[in-house]
Amino acid sequence: MLRTTLQDRRRLEQLPREELSRHQLARLNDLLAEVVPHNRFYAEKLAQVELPLASLADLASIPFTFKEELVTAPSAGEFAANLTYPLARYVRYHHTSGTRGRPMPVLDTAEDWQWWIETWQFVLDAAEVGPEDRVFLAFSFGPFIGFWSAHDAAIARGALAIPGGGMSTLARLELIRRTRATVLFCTPSYALRLAETAADNQIDPAGLDIRRIIVAGEPGGSVAALRRRIESVWNARLIDHAGASEIGPWGYGDREGRGLYIAETEFIAEFLSLESGRPATDGQQAELVLTSLGRFGSPIIRYRTGDVVRPRFGASETNRFVLLEGGVLGRTDDMLIVRGVNVFPSSVEQILRAFPEIVEYRVTVHRQNSMDLLAVEVEDRLQQPDRVARELHVRLGLKVDVRCVPLGSLPRFEGKGKRFIDQREDTYQI
């Protein structure tokens, strides 16, 4: 049973910034009071910090947390290092995707899992999901936390949850049609893959009952060109979402598709300027730093997410939470510097997805005579790579080698898409 109502969450979204700060400080001090005496990892990190904190400004006295610490700390063992309680207290096992290193196991207590479900309601509010909806989850049935949290959150809301794990793409489409599902959960890449498979099998996605699509796992949900394409082919409204196994379900899309709101009653957000490393100003590109306020069993305090965002305060009259304009723009470790130009994968995707004839693509970065070069392979129904190369040159300021490959020859993705290959040091990038 949910502890909050839609009216409760709408009221929280409207909190004045000063009142929101008081709420966050009280939640943070409650968290620290429980965690520090029992959590070896954070007891050591906060040994020199005076508690309770007198103001949110004192948060800066706490060291940052990095994912590498959670995996490699002596206290980590087979699980993440930040566990607060004995293992017998935990009831949920999940792990990170492992796209940047080995997967990290993450555990949750029953109380923490309830916090996941409650926080997810902000996402379902944005999608206007109700008890009358039939929610289809097109994810693998495994330790990926996004499937399970979305599944349980939809059930708690009273919706019919339809798991789509362990099925082919065509089988999923048939089940969507048979159950008359109204809401689809998947990655942006897989929303397009489903539509492509539908077309190959004489199924019109727009003729199905899906009217809302909640996407996560990739930045694409707030990429305008990709968003328009998915909404057009499905005749459905797309809602972006962001979260992480080690953090929680922290972001949800706004109605206009401008980006992601951070659920600030459940997370404290900080923004570090990419240029200076100091606190970023409104509208400046920054790395997102998050503190989870309701997860006591696997707490995260001042976590360097690596996500690149552009914060906007006061962006809406109906929601006072900070808005990340354009959603997650990329990752600090994904940013490519090609001949002096900073290039994020999401920037390339925004350009390529504006061409409706491009079905799929892959980008490779390589080095030639000490110069970094971009090469793009596209499945283009028009077989006209020059027009794509011209647009990339205009928008990025770079000459890019674009060539066509046969339709269906590039990989398709059910989970996070792997379309960017960095060959400069023989490392594989998302």
Closest CA to 91 of 105, 106, 108: 108
Shared-domain flag, residues 218 and 365: no
Q: How confident is the model at residue 404 (pLDDT cuts 50, 70, 90)?
A: very high
Shared-domain flag, residues 37 and 120: yes
Shared-domain flag, residues 398 and 306: no
Shared-domain flag, residues 325 and 346: no
Q: How confident is the model at residue 284 (pLDDT cuts 50, 70, 90)?
A: very high
What's the pLDDT tens digit per position in 297-347? 999 999 999 999 999 998 888 899 999 999 998 887 777 767 667 777 777
* Per-residue pLDDT, 415: 66
- State the average pLDDT over residues 31-56: 96
- State the average pLDDT over residues 247-272: 95
CATH number at residue 21: 3.40.50.12780
Q: Which tokens belong to 183?
A: 């809401």
Shared-domain flag, residues 362 and 313: no
* Per-residue pLDDT, 77: 63
Shared-domain flag, residues 406 and 283: no
Shared-domain flag, residues 39 and 56: yes
The predicted model scores a pTM of: 0.84
Residues in a beta bridge with 399: none
* Per-residue pLDDT, 98: 57
Q: How confident is the model at residue 428 (pLDDT cuts 50, 70, 90)?
A: very low
Shared-domain flag, residues 354 and 424: yes
Shared-domain flag, residues 349 and 306: no
Contact (CB, 8 A) for 335 and 273: no
Shared-domain flag, residues 157 and 70: yes
Give, in order, the Cα–Cα distances in Å from 19 to each of 24, 25, 138, 314: 9, 10, 39, 15
Q: Which position has the higher pLDDT, 418 or 48?
A: 48
- Among 331, 364, 393, the domain-final residue is 331
CATH number at residue 348: 3.30.300.30
CA distance 53 to 17: 18
What's the pLDDT tens digit per position in 176-231? 999 999 999 999 889 999 999 999 999 999 999 999 999 998 777 888 888 999 99
* Per-residue pLDDT, 291: 98
- State the average pLDDT over residues 31-50: 96
To the nearest whole percent, how much of the chain has pLDDT over 70?
A: 92
Considering only 30-34, 71-75, 76-80, 378-382, which range has the smallest mean pLDDT? 71-75
| Torsion sign over Cα 312, 313, 318, 323 | positive
Tally of domains in the chain: 2
In residues, how long is the chain? 430
- State the average pLDDT over residues 139-152: 89
Is 427's pLDDT higher than 50?
no
* Per-residue pLDDT, 141: 79
- Among 331, 364, 395, the domain-final residue is 331
Q: How many CA atoms lie within 13 A of 79 on its CB side?
A: 18
| Average confidence score pLDDT of the chain | 90
> How many other CB atoms are found less than 10 A from the CB of residue 132?
9
Contact (CB, 8 A) for 302 and 65: yes
- Among 296, 331, 366, the domain-final residue is 331
Q: How confident is the model at residue 430 (pLDDT cuts 50, 70, 90)?
A: very low
- State the average pLDDT over residues 78-85: 92
Q: Which tokens belong to 313?
A: 């305060």
Residues in a beta bridge with 240: 215
* Per-residue pLDDT, 424: 65
* Per-residue pLDDT, 171: 96
* Per-residue pLDDT, 143: 87
Longest dimension (CA), the chain: 65
- Its domain, for residue 341, covers 336-428
Q: How confident is the model at residue 349 (pLDDT cuts 50, 70, 90)?
A: confident
Shared-domain flag, residues 99 and 179: yes
Shared-domain flag, residues 232 and 304: yes
